[in-house]
Structure 1
Amino acid sequence: MKVAALKAPGGLDKIVIEERPDPRPGPGEVLVRVRASSLNFHDYAVVAGIIKTPDGRIPMSDGAGEVVEVGAGVSVFKPGDKVLSTFFPHWEAGLPAVERMAAVPGDGADGFAAELVAMPAEAFTRQPEGWSFAEAATLPCAALTAWRALVVEARIKPGDVVLTQGTGGVSIFALQLAKAMGARVVATSSSAEKLARLKALGADHLINYKEEPEWGRAAAAWSKGGVDAVVEIGGAGTMSQSITAARLGGHISLIGVLAGWAGEISTATVMAKNITIKGVTVGSKQEQREMIAAVEATGIRPVIDRSFPLEGIAAAFEHQIAQRHFGKICLEF
């Protein structure tokens, strides 16, 4: 089989396409013909060497494909079934725990930049009915993160106001999920063109953060007292504005650090406004099943910017780094 492998110490120039023996499923495992994957910041951190992995690691946490063979004792799937990976294969349900968040594909174990994978059947769920492999491959990290941030943690309801940042995969899924649940959405971007596309997806209020540096104040003013939930992807560089934007008793889901790993925040404001700040790292297998049922019921479909072949994986990451994309970037092979 053909795989993309990362040579130590990492870097886009250290990704090589090579041939490896086809795997076979052991007891409790399924052999999956991978058809698609999608890029996340986590994957970039791996291939860039920010997250250290062993020499020869196969990257990519997300994968969608079809079962071609099952190992002894497997009854949940059969050959021909369309399956979807889980970001945390050992996290079935319940609260986060160290042992449940181990062996992330493409990081703690080989991932889905491979034509074939043999993994435990428990590492997969079904795909949404009628979705392409590329569409399904956008769900395990980005969509589930947005789902857990808004539905599980913030518990948004119809009439709530949600603030999203930018036009990456998590932010667009958050916009779509919020609208499907009857919430209003304030969306930010630095691009007028991208803001127009966010409007077309249903955003109720748009803020160009380059033109409006105090966008937190603007969001609070539009929502007449502050937003109910923020999907915070920037981290330290944007957190102060998110705190300003939040209402009394509001909820901030911290899911990214794209604008800084550490920095000062107004703890006094957090305290005075009784804001909940909750770190969110993807979600459980049970939450993925619930999210799949929700997207089927609501008709949500992912926004895919562009797909690349497996051999174009480095070019796909270059496209991601350039921030030219709107929505998800996929690999299809």
Structure 2
Amino acid sequence: MMKAMRLEEDFGLENIRYRDLPDPEPGPGEVVIAIEAVAINPRDRLMMLGGYGRMGGRPPLIPLCDGAGRIAAVGPGVDGVREGDFVFPHYSRTWPRGLPDPSAHGGAHGGPLDGTMRALMPVPATAVVQAPVHLTAAEAAALPCAGVTAWSAVVEQARIKTGQRVLIQGTGAISLFALQFAKLQGAEVVLISSSDEKLERARALGADHLINYRDVPDWHKPVREMTAGLGVDHVVDVGGAATLENSIGAVRTSGSISLIGVLGGSRPPFDLGRVVTRNIRLQGVTVGGRDMAERMAAAVAFHRMRPALEEKRFAFRDLAGALDALPEGRHFGKVVCEDF
């Protein structure tokens, strides 16, 4: 019997239960991954609270879309992977390439389909990505959702180039991936946070300019000053309503903003006129196809990049505690669970 955490009866973190479930067998075209570590996203908490409505499926549901491990079994008709390979499941088994279409989220792990929070995970071989071998399982588990989202925003959609300037908000997993990918592309990075300690840790990851937004609420002003009044080429915005007006003030004419999160609300009270008159491209970003995950993993492997992980680790059985740690905002990088 395999160990698993499962949402049962109804939505709510109090309904996540530890269970022993039958070991899965791989069907045709499937593999079974022995999950060694999982990672937490804000999406996962919202999903467990029922915030995705019909898109999130219904209990019973095994949570989480992020995880990594080794292939334990291979079903008939599988090519390209074999037992023992170090892999992670892609975010969605119905999203093979490119940007989302209506079917992409229907195959998402951790809602509506069962996710990674189990010892053994059956998944189509076409939804498996080879993990960079220099990473630990915990580091590889950080890649499927947050890593691909940041890669999509910075590399695939904004197409950041050497010498360009990028502003990134915060020190959560997506923000730090965006910082690392922007530096791989040769960009100059401004990073804002409410914590001087976190800012210094971000400096060690390559951030060139640091701003504490609690000390400088109008942080777009020093950004324009350090860019000779022009503004940055691109902004990675995770705050939504609370930060979008400043992001528009910080970006250059004909620049772009990747809107990835709405941690500060989803209804911004500002005039859209500046977006139009300054020809700003506001791009919503949500994960990406398996082909993006493969390109991201190849870049991480080539540069031997290591994802930033929160130092505090949670046991699998403390999944509810790990999910509840996200809104506190104390973490730096990805929150990870290891060990049943």
Matching residue of 1:313: 319
Of residues 109, 113, 116 in structure 1, which corresponds to 2:117? 113
CA offset at residue 8 of structure 1? 4.2
Matching residue of 1:13: 14
- Which TM-score applies when normalising by structure 2? 0.95
2:306 counterpart of 1:301: yes
* Mapping for residues 67-78 of structure 1, pairs under 5 Å: 67-78=71-82
Contact in 1 for aligned 2:94/2:108 (Cα 8 Å): no
Contact in 1 for aligned 2:25/2:32 (Cα 8 Å): yes
- Rounded to whole Å, the distance in 1 between the matches of 2:215 and 2:154 is 27
- Which TM-score applies when normalising by structure 1? 0.97
Q: Provide Cα deviations, 1:194-214, integer angstroms capped at 9, x if missing partner.
A: 111112222111111111111
Segment drifting more, 56-65 vs 260-269: 260-269
CA offset at residue 131 of structure 1? 1.2
Q: Provide Cα deviations, 1:292-320, integer angstroms capped at 9, x if missing partner.
A: 11111222101111321211111212222
Q: Give percent identity, aligned residues only.
A: 43
Extract unaligned runs of 5+ from structure 1: none
Matching residue of 1:96: 100
Q: Which amino acid aligns with 1:217?
A: K
Of residues 286, 290, 293 in structure 1, which corresponds to 2:291? 286
- Rounded to whole Å, the distance in 1 between the matches of 2:154 and 2:335 is 23
Contact in 2 for aligned 1:88/1:283 (Cα 8 Å): no
- Rounded to whole Å, the distance in 1 between the matches of 2:82 and 2:180 is 32
- Rounded to whole Å, the distance in 2 between the matches of 1:28 and 1:265 is 50
Q: Which amino acid aligns with 2:19?
A: E
- Rounded to whole Å, the distance in 1 between the matches of 2:296 and 2:318 is 30
Q: Provide Cα deviations, 1:77-127, integer angstroms capped at 9, x if missing partner.
A: 111111111112222123321123322100110000001111111111100
- Rounded to whole Å, the distance in 1 between the matches of 2:159 and 2:65 is 27
* Mapping for residues 208-287 of structure 1, pairs under 5 Å: 208-224=212-228, 225-287=230-292
Contact in 1 for aligned 2:86/2:133 (Cα 8 Å): no
Contact in 1 for aligned 2:134/2:301 (Cα 8 Å): no
Of residues 321, 330, 335 in structure 2, which corresponds to 1:324? 330
Of residues 134, 145, 159 in structure 2, which corresponds to 1:130? 134
- Count the aligned residue pairs: 333
Q: Provide Cα deviations, 1:7-56, integer angstroms capped at 9, x if missing partner.
A: 24322211111111111111111111111110111111112332343122
Q: Which amino acid aligns with 1:323?
A: G
CA offset at residue 141 of structure 1? 0.7
Matching residue of 2:85: 81
Q: Which amino acid aligns with 1:42?
A: R
- Rounded to whole Å, the distance in 2 between the matches of 1:176 and 1:36 is 22
For 1:307, what is the secondary structure of its paired residue?
A: coil
Extract unaligned runs of 5+ from structure 2: none
Contact in 1 for aligned 2:96/2:127 (Cα 8 Å): no
Matching residue of 2:39: 38
- Rounded to whole Å, the distance in 1 between the matches of 2:302 and 2:204 is 21
Matching residue of 2:27: 26
For 2:107, what is the secondary structure of its paired residue?
A: coil
CA offset at residue 254 of structure 1? 0.8
For 2:243, what is the secondary structure of its paired residue?
A: helix
For 1:163, what is the secondary structure of its paired residue?
A: strand
- Rounded to whole Å, the distance in 1 between the matches of 2:89 and 2:237 is 25
For 1:289, what is the secondary structure of its paired residue?
A: helix
CA offset at residue 158 of structure 1? 0.7
Contact in 2 for aligned 1:159/1:184 (Cα 8 Å): yes
Contact in 2 for aligned 1:8/1:54 (Cα 8 Å): no
Segment drifting more, 198-207 vs 152-161: 198-207
Contact in 2 for aligned 1:157/1:182 (Cα 8 Å): yes
CA offset at residue 142 of structure 1? 0.7
Of residues 60, 63, 73 in structure 2, which corresponds to 1:59? 63
